[in-house]
Amino acid sequence: MILDAFTLDGKVALVTGGGRGLGLGFSTALAQAGADVVILDRSGSPEAVEAVEALGRRAWSVQADLLAATPEQVQDLVTQVAGEAGRLDIVVNNAGIIRREPAIDFTRANWDEVIDLNLSKVFYLSQAAARVMIDQAGGLDAVRAAGESGGGRERSIGKIINIASMLSYQGGKIVPSYTASKSGVAGLTRALASEWAPLGINVNAIAPGYFATDNTAQLRANPERSAEILGRIPAGRWGRPTDLQGVAVFLATAASDYVDGTTIPVDGGWLTR
Ligand code: NAP
């Protein structure tokens, strides 16, 4: 039955930045669908862990600053997470930052840090997770053979969900590193899907429109920008983290096993105008 394809019983998900904002919405959505959830962020988020446990799932907090982590440390973290949770099936690359400053004055730190966290760490974390997913499916040779036998891949061995943005499509205003990083995320999503779809790993992205979180607090505090943005959203309101939950569960479950490399906008119609 089709609804059976939307369950995550026995699966383990890792959600970066999963303790607040959109990430908390992803953590609780995956838990509601049946997954145990590892929340990775800088602050450690006891309330988010409690929220997942209250849904009857196991939850862990991993406190780590992804900006400070080397690719090797990212690999160690992911290996450790899978070891502690017993496996790893789903990664949501959600942790992200934004810096606003006119391009002409843009500082090196505002460029480097945004590109590092929003794009480079998405790559290294996806690479680390794919290695774990391939290992737990019996190794590269077994996974390749499964993809090649019988005329194509029959089952997925893992799901990677990247968080893109409207600025994966548009230029935005005074956020050059953010636009570059999120446009890169859409491209990276296609690149990884192209390589890993044959192995059984679905890589896709969600592009949220304008959502009421800390990330957009500055925009919402500016009456002119806030009205300008709201006036362009056909749905007539800012998005809420719950608006993203259906698409996240879809991309995490067997329901999306034949979906690879796409970026799905969830934007109240923003891109139609
Ligand atoms: P948010 O409320 O600012 O939350 C950001 C999350 O990322 C927090 O959980 C934070 O953890 C984590 N994080 C930041 N720096 C980190 C680091 N160095 N290491 C580990 N974790 C770190 O942002 P949001 O609005 O929920 O956005 C989540 C994602 O959606 C981002 O990628 C953002 O670009 C994207 N997005 C948001 C919107 C929107 O309208 N809000 C629209 C499009 C795309 P701590 O709690 O430890 O700081």
User: 76-79: which pairs have CB atoms within 8 A and are 24 or more residues apart?
Assistant: 77/40, 77/128, 78/14, 78/125, 78/128, 78/129, 78/132, 79/128, 79/132
Residue 11 · residue 36 · CB < 8 Å: yes
pTM of the model: 0.98
Distance CA 170, CA 160 (A): 24
Q: Separation of 47 CA from ligand 1 center, angstroms?
A: 17
Question: How much distance in Å is there from the Cα of 145 to the middle of ligand 1?
Answer: 38
> Rounded CA gap, 162 and 189, in Å?
7
Residue 169 bears catalytic tag: no
Tell me, in angstroms, the distance from the centre of ligand 1 to residue 2's CA. 32
> Cα-flanking dihedrals φ and ψ of residue 216, to 5°?
-110, 10
Q: Pocket of ligand 1, candidates 38, 47, 49, 97: which has the most ligand atoms within 8 Å of its Cβ, to mutate? A: 97
- Residue-level pLDDT at 133: 98
For the stretch 85-104, pLDDT in tens is 999 999 999 999 999 999 99
Residue 55: the pLDDT is 98
> Containing H/E element for 160?
strand 158-163
Number of C-beta neighbours around residue 168 at 10 A: 21
Q: Could you tell me the two tokens for 1?
A: 């039955």
SS3 content of the chain, % helix, strand, coil (to 5): 55, 15, 30
pLDDT band at 208 (very low <50, low <70, confident <90, very high): very high
Asked whether the predicted pLDDT for residue 149 surpasses 80, the reply is no
Per-residue pLDDT for 230 more than 90?
Answer: yes
Predicted local confidence at residue 210, as pLDDT: 96
Q: Are strands 59-63 and 158-163 parallel, antiparallel or unpaired?
A: unpaired
- Enumerate domains of the chain plus CATH numbers: 2-266 (3.40.50.720)
